[in-house]
């Protein structure tokens, strides 16, 4: 029944990202007060918690957007320090932000290749001329493999539905990620059917052996697609469990502080 | 059944989508304008080779200004200083040519070369000031270029002592400004080359793609790793250099650098052409080809009204009306496009 029991890999892959005792304060607001979390290859690790619990801040630390005040980030066994999101991306960490970060007027292809455009070979390439055909082909191919529900990759993103836009953002992360995909509430704004399509994409990432960190508010979704779940409460880790060992009551109780 | 219907439906969709592209309707307006003038104006006035050459010549400076404005507006920016910078570059180039040639015809070629360098270089320098303030000091483009609009015009008048600069080598006007290549005015050929180069940059290169991306969503571009500040700096340098080229074309055509108006009419016409061409002032949308069509609307209007003996100022009124109508129509069209999809 449970997806992870089908593959038998719940939390058994090698650790690809370790957050150790991460602390972060914004002025007097202590967003993170010493959070530790390990993300393994081939797992969907859900992070849940009430509004303001520190979920997005934790993700931004892992993405190189926010610099922690204390603690350690380790990727593939080595301590890393990210000066910018580019540093995180360089070692294979891609992020789907809550606002998606899509350029609405440009095509799916342009959004997938943003900042990583492919130039032609030879003299034209040196002049900065783009190889649009190659980028379009590779995007179509990737969308097909990842089952992104977009048929025409040359359509401007603003013409797409919410679920399709989400699909483009996730596919972009999947295409460039080498080891880790971080997702911040990817289905918060979606309807039931669109949510199902995004859930399929996330499962697809797991089967490709990525480590997936999934921030979500949606208890049924987390119970359905995650392998492990960590609950944050007031900037602290209120517990990490195998998803197969918990139910909705445990999650909700942990979120509001019932377990001690 | 479904398969049989698909082909005609696709064909119908293609027919419907031709008028849905913004350029199509501006082209319709332009053709209608030309047809109306051709019908109304006396024979052998509007539809003549000579008049076509006049229109092409008149369009040349505006094309160059509009090419720069297209790129700037697509990035979500604005350069209000192009008319003033054009004035400054024209004055600087004219004064340089005069002093290098020193009244003799021996040094005219050198004078022309140095003058071109000074014209383009001074335009690029103003652009660099704009670019630094916008890209690195993060000041709003409207404020920065409104400031340099005044500063460049003031500087041009200081440089020229407040009067127009004439007395550039005569051969420059004869052999460049009034010359034709297979019947096409040379200034127009130069403008066309610059426009084609800018169009290529915009639609075919990585720099051009970054320009669209920054205009569409600057934060997404930043997270994508695009060096925004460096891009914007180069963008305003380009805009300034093109304004410098426009100033040079003016000197070549009229053998005089005028400081009287600061080319505000050209500034307004160039921005109007770009917006009529469907570019969005909020960035991310625009096409070089559409701006080119947009340029010919004010130029043809001015030409037709002049031949018809109508007050020149009607041009500004009519261009204003077309501008507002074009933007209104475009908004309506886009709203419908989104709701249909
Ligand atoms: N850039 C910031 N500046 C100031 N406070 C912030 C900033 N980002 C987050 N916070 C604060 O940190 C706390 C945790 O925020 P966040 O990580 O976004 O929570 P969550 O995603 O779990 O809702 C909140 O109190 C929030 O107001
Ligand atoms: Mg959040």
Does residue A186 lie in a domain region?
yes
A43-52, A249-258, B127-136: segment of lowest average pLDDT: A249-258
Q: Say if strands A70-75 and A180-184 run parallel, antiparallel, or are unpaired.
A: unpaired
Contact (Cβ atoms closer than 8 angstroms) between residue A128 and residue A115:
no
Indicate which CATH number applies to the domain containing A68: 3.40.50.300
User: What pLDDT shows up at residue B102?
Assistant: 80
Q: What is the dihedral of CA A53, A57, A62, A64, to 10 degrees?
A: 180
User: What pLDDT shows up at residue B4?
Assistant: 43
User: What pLDDT shows up at residue A193?
Assistant: 80
Asked whether A51 lines ligand 1 (CB < 6 A), one says yes
> Which residue in A has a C-alpha nearest to residue B217's C-alpha?
A103
User: What pLDDT shows up at residue A86?
Assistant: 87
Domain span at residue A29 reads 15-102+178-256
Q: How far apart are CA B273 and CA B275, in angstroms?
A: 6
B12 pLDDT band, cuts 50/70/90, is low
B11 pLDDT band, cuts 50/70/90, is low
Q: How far apart are CA B199 and CA B70, in angstroms?
A: 9
Residue nearest to atom 6 of ligand 1 (CA): A26
> Is the CB of A115 less than 8 angstroms away from the CB of B285?
no
Does residue A217 lie in a domain region?
yes
B9 has pLDDT over 70 = no
Q: How far apart are CA B115 and CA B98, in angstroms?
A: 9
Does residue A138 lie in a domain region?
no
A128-132, A143-147, B37-41, B193-197: segment of lowest average pLDDT: A143-147
Q: Once rounded to an integer, what is the mean pLDDT over residues A233-257?
A: 91
| B307-316: Cβ within 8 A, 24+ apart | B307/B37, B307/B41, B307/B45, B307/B46, B307/B51, B308/B37, B308/B40, B308/B41, B316/B265, B316/B268
> Is the CB of B221 less than 8 angstroms away from the CB of A158?
no
User: What pLDDT shows up at residue A26?
Assistant: 96
Asked whether A204 lines ligand 1 (CB < 6 A), one says no
ipTM computed for the complex: 0.86
Question: What is the per-residue pLDDT across B282-311, written as a single tens digit (0 to 9) for each?
Answer: 999 999 999 999 999 989 988 999 999 988
Q: Once rounded to an integer, what is the mean pLDDT over residues A143-151?
A: 88
Question: What is the per-residue pLDDT across B113-143, written as a single tens digit (0 to 9) for each?
Answer: 999 999 999 999 999 999 999 999 999 999 9
Ligand 1 atom at minimum distance from A58 CA: 17
Q: What is the dihedral of CA B149, B154, B159, B160, to 10 degrees?
A: 100
Question: What is the per-residue pLDDT across B18-76, written as a single tens digit (0 to 9) for each?
Answer: 555 667 888 898 999 999 999 999 988 999 999 999 999 999 999 999 999 999 999 99
Asked whether A22 lines ligand 1 (CB < 6 A), one says no
Please tell me whether residue B336 adopts helix, strand or coil conformation.
Answer: helix
B333 has pLDDT over 90 = no
Does residue A140 lie in a domain region?
no
Q: Once rounded to an integer, what is the mean pLDDT over residues A67-86?
A: 92
Please tell me whether residue A91 adopts helix, strand or coil conformation.
Answer: coil
B229 has pLDDT over 80 = yes
Average pLDDT, chain A: 90
Q: Say if strands A15-26 and A29-40 run parallel, antiparallel, or are unpaired.
A: antiparallel
Using the Cβ of A128 and the Cβ atoms of chain B, whether some distance falls under 8 Å is answered with: yes
B187 pLDDT band, cuts 50/70/90, is very high
Tally the C-alpha atoms within 13 A of residue A260's C-alpha that lie toward its C-beta. Answer: 0
Rounded to the nearest angstrom, the minimum Cα separation between A106 and chain B is 7
| Cα A226–chain centre separation | 13
A9 has pLDDT over 80 = no
Residue nearest to atom 11 of ligand 1 (CA): A31
Please tell me whether residue A101 adopts helix, strand or coil conformation.
Answer: coil
Contact (Cβ atoms closer than 8 angstroms) between residue B300 and residue B47:
no
- Going through chain B in order, the beta strands assigned E by DSSP cover 165-166, 180-181, 184-185, 256-257
User: What pLDDT shows up at residue A257?
Assistant: 81
Q: How far apart are CA B188 and CA B186, in angstroms?
A: 5
> Which residue in A has a C-alpha nearest to residue B200's C-alpha?
A129
The contacts of residue A190 (CB under 8 Å, 6+ apart) are: A162, A163, A166, A198
Q: Once rounded to an integer, what is the mean pLDDT over residues A116-135?
A: 94
A1 pLDDT band, cuts 50/70/90, is very low
For an interface test with A, the pick among B206, B279, B330 (most A C-beta atoms closer than 10 Å) comes out as: B206
A122 pLDDT band, cuts 50/70/90, is very high
A170 has pLDDT over 50 = yes
Asked whether A57 lines ligand 1 (CB < 6 A), one says yes
Ligand 1 atom at minimum distance from A66 CA: 1
User: What pLDDT shows up at residue B90?
Assistant: 97
B247 has pLDDT over 50 = yes
Does residue A237 lie in a domain region?
yes
Helix (H) or strand (E) holding A47: strand A44-49
Any idea which ligand is nearest the CA of A231? 1
Does residue A169 lie in a domain region?
no
Ligand 2 centre from B127 Cα, in Å? 41
- Which comes out higher in pLDDT, residue B130 or B278? B130
User: What pLDDT shows up at residue B105?
Assistant: 73
Phi first, then psi: give them for residue A41, nearest 5 degrees: -65, 140
Q: What does DSSP assign to residue A160?
A: S
Rounded to the nearest angstrom, the minimum Cα separation between B221 and chain A is 7
Q: Once rounded to an integer, what is the mean pLDDT over residues A25-42?
A: 95
The contacts of residue B311 (CB under 8 Å, 6+ apart) are: B305
Average pLDDT, chain B: 90
Q: Once rounded to an integer, what is the mean pLDDT over residues B224-237?
A: 95
Nearest to B138 by CA among B209, B229, B251: B229
User: What pLDDT shows up at residue B291?
Assistant: 94
Q: What does DSSP assign to residue A228?
A: E
Asked whether A55 lines ligand 1 (CB < 6 A), one says yes
Tally the C-alpha atoms within 13 A of residue B1's C-alpha that lie toward its C-beta. Answer: 0
Rounded to the nearest angstrom, the minimum Cα separation between B229 and chain A is 14
A41 pLDDT band, cuts 50/70/90, is very high
A6 pLDDT band, cuts 50/70/90, is very low
- Which comes out higher in pLDDT, residue A179 or B105? A179
Q: How far apart are CA B233 and CA B248, in angstroms?
A: 23
Q: Over the range B15-38, which residues count as b (16 or more CB within 10 Å of their CB) and which as e?
A: eeeeeeebbebbeebbeebbeebe
User: What pLDDT shows up at residue A259?
Assistant: 56
Phi first, then psi: give them for residue A211, nearest 5 degrees: -90, 125
Contact (Cβ atoms closer than 8 angstroms) between residue A149 and residue A167:
yes
Q: How far apart are CA B99 and CA B86, in angstroms?
A: 20
For an interface test with A, the pick among B209, B219, B285, B340 (most A C-beta atoms closer than 10 Å) comes out as: B209
Q: Once rounded to an integer, what is the mean pLDDT over residues A127-136?
A: 95
Ligand 1 atom at minimum distance from A60 CA: 17
Contact (Cβ atoms closer than 8 angstroms) between residue A190 and residue A163:
yes
**Residue among A32, A56, A57, A97 whose CB has most ligand 1 atoms within 8 A, to mutate:** A57
Does residue A51 lie in a domain region?
yes
Please state, for a pLDDT cut of 90, what percent of chain A lies above it: 72
Ligand 2 centre from A101 Cα, in Å? 15
Does residue A153 lie in a domain region?
no
Please state, for a pLDDT cut of 70, what percent of chain B lies above it: 92
Helix (H) or strand (E) holding B92: helix B82-101
Q: What is the dihedral of CA B186, B188, B192, B198, to 10 degrees?
A: 110
Q: Once rounded to an integer, what is the mean pLDDT over residues B176-203?
A: 95
- Tokens representing residue B279 in the block: 């570019």
Asked whether A24 lines ligand 1 (CB < 6 A), one says no
B234 has pLDDT over 50 = yes
- Tokens representing residue B333 in the block: 């069209």
The C-alpha R_g of chain A, in whole angstroms, comes to 19
Q: Say if strands A228-233 and A44-49 run parallel, antiparallel, or are unpaired.
A: parallel
Q: What does DSSP assign to residue A157?
A: G
> Is the CB of A130 less than 8 angstroms away from the CB of B205?
yes
């Amino acid at each position: 029944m449970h997806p992870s029991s089908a593959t038998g890999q719940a939390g058994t892959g090698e650790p690809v990202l370790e957050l150790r005792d991460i602390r972060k304060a914004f002025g007097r607001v202590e967003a993170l007060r010493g959070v530790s979390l390990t993300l393994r290859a081939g797992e969907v690790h859900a992070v849940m918690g009430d509004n303001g619990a520190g979920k997005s801040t934790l993700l931004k630390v892992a993405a190189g957007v926010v610099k922690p005040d204390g603690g350690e980030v380790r990727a593939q066994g080595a301590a890393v320090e990210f000066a910018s999101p580019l540093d995180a991306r360089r070692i294979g960490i891609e992020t789907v932000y809550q606002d998606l970060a899509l350029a609405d007027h440009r095509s799916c292809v342009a959004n997938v290749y943003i900042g990583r455009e492919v130039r032609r070979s030879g003299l034209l390439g040196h002049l900065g001329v783009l190889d649009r055909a190659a980028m379009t082909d590779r995007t179509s191919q990737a969308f097909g493999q990842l089952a992104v529900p977009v048929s025409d990759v040359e359509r401007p993103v603003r013409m797409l539905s919410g679920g399709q836009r989400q699909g483009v953002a996730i596919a972009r992360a999947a295409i460039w990620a080498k080891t880790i995909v971080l997702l911040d509430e990817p289905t918060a704004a979606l309807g039931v059917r669109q949510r199902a399509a995004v859930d399929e994409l996330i499962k697809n990432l797991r089967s490709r052996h990525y480590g997936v960190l999934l921030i979500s508010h949606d208890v049924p979704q987390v119970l359905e697609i995650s392998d492990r779940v960590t609950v944050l409460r007031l900037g602290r880790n209120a517990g990490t469990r195998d998803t197969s060992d918990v139910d909705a009551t445990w999650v909700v109780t942990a979120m509001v502080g019932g377990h001690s | 059944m479904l398969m049989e219907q698909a082909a005609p439906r696709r064909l119908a969709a293609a027919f419907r989508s031709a008028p849905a592209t913004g350029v199509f309707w501006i082209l319709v307006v332009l053709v209608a304008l030309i047809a109306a003038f051709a019908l109304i104006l006396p024979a052998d006035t509007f539809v003549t080779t000579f008049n076509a050459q006049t229109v092409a010549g008149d369009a040349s400076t505006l094309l160059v200004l509009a090419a720069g404005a297209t790129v700037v507006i697509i990035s979500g920016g604005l350069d209000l200083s192009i008319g003033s910078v054009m004035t400054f570059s024209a004055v600087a180039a004219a004064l340089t040519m005069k002093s290098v040639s020193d009244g003799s015809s021996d040094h005219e070629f050198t004078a022309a070369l140095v003058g071109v360098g000074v014209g383009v270089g001074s335009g690029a320098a103003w652009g660099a000031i704009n670019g630094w303030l916008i890209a690195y000091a993060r000041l709003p483009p409207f404020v920065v270029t409104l400031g340099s609009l005044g500063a460049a015009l003031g500087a041009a008048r200081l440089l020229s002592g407040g009067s127009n600069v004439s007395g550039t080598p005569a051969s420059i006007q004869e052999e460049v400004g009034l010359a034709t290549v297979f019947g096409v005015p040379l200034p127009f050929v130069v403008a066309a080359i610059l426009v084609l180069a800018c169009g290529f940059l915009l639609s075919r290169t990585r720099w051009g793609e970054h320009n669209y991306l920054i205009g569409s969503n600057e934060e997404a571009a930043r997270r994508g790793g695009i060096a925004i500040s460096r891009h914007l700096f180069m963008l305003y340098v380009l805009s300034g250099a093109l304004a410098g080229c426009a100033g040079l074309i003016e000197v070549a055509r009229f053998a005089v650098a005028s400081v009287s108006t600061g080319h505000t009419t050209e500034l307004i016409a160039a921005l109007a052409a770009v917006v009529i061409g469907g570019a969005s002032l909020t960035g991310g949308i625009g096409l070089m080809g559409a701006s080119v069509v947009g340029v010919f609307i004010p130029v043809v209007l001015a030409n037709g009204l002049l031949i018809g003996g109508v007050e020149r100022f009607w041009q500004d009124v009519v261009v204003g009306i077309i501008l507002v109508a074009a933007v209104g129509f475009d908004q309506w069209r886009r709203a419908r496009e989104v709701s249909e999809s």
